[in-house]
């Protein structure tokens, strides 16, 4: 349960730590992976928070994983102070939001994907650091959630010897200062850098079948590099196949001779029927999980000849 692992730190067998010598300290080290969740998404104290939970939320479109942080800068301004002219005494005028910039190096397609997440007040942020500790927030009812993010903006694409993409996130100062919480590496059943990633965009293309055909051939390609993708472990239940808008379950799915080529066995088709096909989880999710790797497809369309 979340309540059993949140804000729990293992002191290990070494001597006492911290100035008081009674409790173990924890700090945020260099970030390595971040998650943007939809604003307000909460994990109840009794919920199981693990790899399966995160990947399910990814499939539902409620969590978005950004892997491969190669550099990080804290751009948070210092507190703004005013000065009383008569006495020279200073007073606080503003505490700026935390402003963190995460640098990636994952290519042009990744940059195009990052741009889609520019927003203001639509997301919360979860941060995994180099120790695989997770930093988030905890509300007064014990629910876990992401830290309250405001502006999410994407920097320009870095051209040249050091290609790069960057995301800058502002985090509400009061939320972080008062509600920041953590789950230490020892309490997680996964390693973020190894087990988490965003979904992979693939394109399905169908070959138009003839009248009375009982099979439909299709190919799956990676959108980022137009390469055929085998999608190991793909099942009939991972597809949404429709004829003239009506969902029909194929009786079989067969992999072709070449990677990325498949055939579904269907009821006899008729000329002019419109067929559509897409990846679709059996639990009505738009992203499928195949052996821990996530894929999302277009909606392929063809007409029976």
Q: What is the pLDDT of residues 177-188, one digit of tens each?
A: 999 999 999 999
pLDDT, greater one: 164 or 141: 141
| Strand 200-206 with 293-297, pairing | parallel
- Does residue 174 carry a pLDDT above 50? yes
Average the pLDDT over 96-106 and give the result: 94
* CA distance to 2, 89, 114, 158, 164, per residue, from 108 (Å): 37, 52, 10, 10, 9
Residue 99: its pLDDT value, please?
A: 97
Residue 122: its pLDDT value, please?
A: 96
- Does residue 56 carry a pLDDT above 90? yes
Residue 34: its pLDDT value, please?
A: 98
Q: Which pLDDT band, with edges at 50, 70 and 90, does 14 fall under?
A: very low
- Does residue 197 carry a pLDDT above 80? yes
- Does residue 21 carry a pLDDT above 80? no
Q: Name the residue with tokens 């394109």.
A: 203
- Does residue 106 carry a pLDDT above 80? yes
Residue 182 DSSP symbol = E
| Strand 252-255 with 200-206, pairing | unpaired
- For residue 218, with 0-12 CB atoms within 10 Å meaning exposed, 13-18 middle and 19 or more buried, which class applies? buried
* CA distance to 110, 134, 144, 198, 270, per residue, from 29 (Å): 25, 10, 20, 22, 61
Mean pLDDT across the chain, nearest whole number?
91
The CATH 2.60.40.1220 domain(s) of the chain lie at 200-303
Can you tell me the distance from the alpha carbon of 108 to that of 163, in angstroms, rounded to the nearest whole number? Answer: 9
- Does residue 24 carry a pLDDT above 80? no
Are the C-beta atoms of residues 296 and 199 closer than 8 Å to each other? Answer: yes
Q: Which pLDDT band, with edges at 50, 70 and 90, does 31 fall under?
A: very high
Average the pLDDT over 97-103 and give the result: 96
pLDDT > 90 fraction of the chain, expressed in percent and rounded: 76
pLDDT, greater one: 153 or 81: 153
200-303 CATH, one of 1.20.1080.10, 2.30.140.10, 2.60.40.1220, 3.40.50.11890? 2.60.40.1220
Residue 185: its pLDDT value, please?
A: 93
Residue 10: its pLDDT value, please?
A: 62
Residue 297: its pLDDT value, please?
A: 96
Average the pLDDT over 251-268 and give the result: 95
* CA distance to 32, 71, 101, 180, per residue, from 76 (Å): 19, 16, 10, 17
The CB-side HSE value for 23 (13 A sphere, CA atoms) comes to: 5
Q: Name the residue with tokens 């979340």.
A: 2
Average the pLDDT over 228-250 and give the result: 94
């Amino acid at each position: 349960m979340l309540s059993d692992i949140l804000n729990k730190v293992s002191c290990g067998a070494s001597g006492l730590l911290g100035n008081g010598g009674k409790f173990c300290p924890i700090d945020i080290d260099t970030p390595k992976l971040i998650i943007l969740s939809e604003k307000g998404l909460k994990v109840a104290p009794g919920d199981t928070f693990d790899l399966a939970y995160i990947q399910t939320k990814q499939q539902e479109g409620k969590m978005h994983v950004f892997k491969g942080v190669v550099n990080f800068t804290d751009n948070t301004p210092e507190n703004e102070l005013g000065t009383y002219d008569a006495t020279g005494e200073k007073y606080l005028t503003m505490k700026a939001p935390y402003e963190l910039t995460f640098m990636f190096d994952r290519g042009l397609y990744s940059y195009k994907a990052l741009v889609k997440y520019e927003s203001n007040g639509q997301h919360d942020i979860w941060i995994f650091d180099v120790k695989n500790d997770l930093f988030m927030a905890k509300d007064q009812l014990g629910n876990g959630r992401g830290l309250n993010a405001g502006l999410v903006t994407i920097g320009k694409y870095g051209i040249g010897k050091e290609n790069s993409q960057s995301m800058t996130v502002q985090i509400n100062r009061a939320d972080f200062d008062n509600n920041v919480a953590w789950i230490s590496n020892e309490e997680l059943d996964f390693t973020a850098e190894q087990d988490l990633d965003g979904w992979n965009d693939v394109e399905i293309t169908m070959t138009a079948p003839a009248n009375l055909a009982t099979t439909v051939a299709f190919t799956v390609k990676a959108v980022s590099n137009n390469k055929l993708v085998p999608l190991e472990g793909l099942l009939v239940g991972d597809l949404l196949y429709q004829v003239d808008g009506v969902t029909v379950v194929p009786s079989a799915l067969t992999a072709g001779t070449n990677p990325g080529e498949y055939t579904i066995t269907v009821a006899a088709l008729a000329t002019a029927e419109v067929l559509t096909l897409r990846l679709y989880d059996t639990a009505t999710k738009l992203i499928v999980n195949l052996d821990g790797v996530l894929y999302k497809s277009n909606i392929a369309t063809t007409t029976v000849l």
